[in-house]
Chains A and B, each alone.
Chain A
Amino acid sequence: MAAEVVERTPVARPSAGRHTVALFASELHLVFGRARTWVLLAVLAAVPILIGVAIKLSGSSGDAEGFLGQVAGNGFFLVVASLALSLPFFLPTAVTVISGESLAGEASLGTLRNLITAPAGRSRLLAAKMVALALFCLAATMTIWVSGLIVGIVLFPVGDVVLLSGTTVSLADGLFRALGIALLIATSLLGLAGIGLFVSSLTSTPLAAMAATFCAFIVFGILGAIPQIHVIHPWLLMYGWTSFADLLRDPPYWHEIGRNLLMQGAYLAVFYAAAWARLTSRDVNG
């Protein structure tokens, strides 16, 4: 009897190459291709508009102290004031929504199993999620930066910038510093993004992930407001968030900025590692 052979070449594509970045690009498409993301960015873009119009209508900055008080005199400060005012609530909320959605959203749609069997590789999928989150943080602060600048120029006189130290620098220098501030604030949000990513890896309900992440944020806020535990304050997530203003000193005061970056890095490292451990061992049942 002749050997009955199924003549068949396996479809293995060993030399098909390694198109690793495709998933990252696809992830960006997923985050920035959604109406929800654009609604969030639109809300952030509205912050400078609201502040600018309010100040314009009231005719002056009143007795407001700090950056807000300088807006009427120099539209440049609308950029900084908007960033500063968005930091305690709007930006963390936006990051919470996107980060809570990241893995839990895939799990709830069931697409997580498609990605894993694709195979995306769980570690690489997590990395792609985190990169997309980081870029969202940057997009969020840059949205405020751009919106603040446009509204500032339209509504107010714009000119040389007075730094906190009383030194006057050119508008270009000021805008460059404000760009640095946008970057720093985006980086400041990474710790929260890491927490959100981790929480998101725990559940298949995006809303629960968002709520839990926001709760964590609130708890940090409450802990930071209790004077009796001031010894732990320097280790809280948001302790160094206001350090971005140190870029507006002459010369910039780097110490707190550096410390904040290290803190965010530490929070991110811990929660990213936790998310990794969770995702790589998780039973994907959804």
Chain B
Amino acid sequence: MTTEPTSAHPAKPADPAAVEHGETQPAAKAPAIGAGETQPAAKAPAIGAGETQSAAKAPAIAAGGWSGSGAPIVTAGLTKRFRSGQVAVDAIDLEVPAGSIFGFLGPNGSGKTTTIRMLLGLIAPTSGSVELLGEPMPKAQLSVLPRVGALVEGPAFYPFWTGQANLLRFDAADRTADPRTRKARAGHALERVGLSNAAGKKVRNYSLGMRQRLAIAVALMQPRDLLVLDEPTNGLDPQGTREVRSLIRELANDGTTIFTSTHLLAEVEQLCTHAAVMSRGRLLRQSTMTELRSELRPRLVVRTPDLQQAERTLTGLGVTDVKRTDEFVDGDPGELPIDKLAAALVAADVRIHGFGIERPSLEDAFVALTGEGFDVAE
């Protein structure tokens, strides 16, 4: 339980995201993009702000293990160098706030899955540390992991067994799972992912999408504090993707922190409250979605045959960052009134074929950040 007063961090309101937090309702009810800041300001690890570390490390108050007072995932200098010498993950400092839906974004091969493997104790870091739910990994994995639902690098099952049998096996591996309720919990988990009808079918006969759902069902066998999902919508059809996303929102509403990796920008845009961007093993950026969006300034786009004239006029009016292409001129109008700009262009004998404000997509921002393209299918 968190009882930290926001007043403990008077410096915070300087952070726009934090301001917004202060005004947010107990987040769980607002999973919509941008408004879904589900934690008090004290825990918002605002991007790049050094002092957020101290906020995250505020002492837990409630007794009895992790109480939600610290960030569910904290890494410090986490590095993985493979035996080949390749540095898959390069000194990343992640901090995933409690209650967030945290999008872990990066192109394929950028080190997302390797990071997730280290988070879950599957592979040992070369250096750096991981703290999961306030406890060090992999040392405390036996006590921590029962509270973490995980889906790592695609679904993996015994193809010769039914979906239900697979669920039972992985649940049996968790010694804190009650065997008496096992079947009932499996049934419930299958129902939540829409696999009730296929429970008795051998996984060999499942489609990739069904396997993906089954993998999510494994994570749902128990109530969890944290879900770590590696590309949860991979292989799903649009309908399935929608279902899984709404399931994730539902789980977040119940208070579960969700850490989901994806190479799909759209997913982050639609689903996440926070995002971090990986590229070539480095963590380029982590922030709230709100903040990311606020940085995307609208651009004025003028389509005209008189490109040079338009450029000159706009620059003269105080539009910054003016760029000229073969078909249009664009720039950042800042606070300048749009109607005045249009009038000024007309006055300058610029023939206007098109005139408007365009909001750049997140993709543009991330491409700018990573220098790489994203798979934006969907």
Interface positions of A (Cβ within 8 A of B): 1, 3-14, 16-20, 22-23, 25-26, 29-30, 33-35, 109-111, 113-121, 124-125, 281, 283-285
Contact = CB atoms under 8 A, between A and B. Distances in A.
B41 A4 contact: yes
Interface in B243-283: 255
Given A6-B39, A109-B158, A283 B21 contact: no
Interface string B156-179: 111111000100111111111111
A26 B172 contact: yes
Interface SS majority for chain A = loop
Contact of B120 (A34, A111, A117, A283): A117
Interface string B117-148: 10011111000000001000000011001111
A13 B176 contact: yes
B64 A12 contact: yes
Nearest to A25: B172
B194 interface: no
Interface residues of B, number: 67
Contact of A12 (B27, B28, B123, B147): B147
Given A117-B121, A119-B145, A8 B68 contact: yes
Contact of A10 (B150, B178, B225): B225
Contacts of B99: 6, 8
B334 interface: no
Given A14-B64, A114-B218, A19 B178 contact: yes
A83 B223 CA distance: 51
Interface in B24-79: 24, 26-28, 38-41, 64-68
Contacts of A16: 176-178
Closest 7 A/B residue pairs (Cβ) = A110-B156, A118-B173, A120-B173, A119-B145, A283-B123, A26-B172, A22-B172
A208 to B, nearest CB: 19
A11 B6 CA distance: 25
Given A22-B173, A26-B168, 18 more contacts: A3-B5, A4-B24, A4-B41, A5-B3, A6-B38, A8-B2, A9-B1, A12-B147, A13-B176, A16-B178, A17-B176, A19-B172, A22-B175, A26-B172, A30-B169, A33-B161, A114-B152, A117-B148
A13 B146 contact: yes
Given A1-B22, A14-B64, A119-B142, A6 B124 contact: no
A175 to B, nearest CB: 36
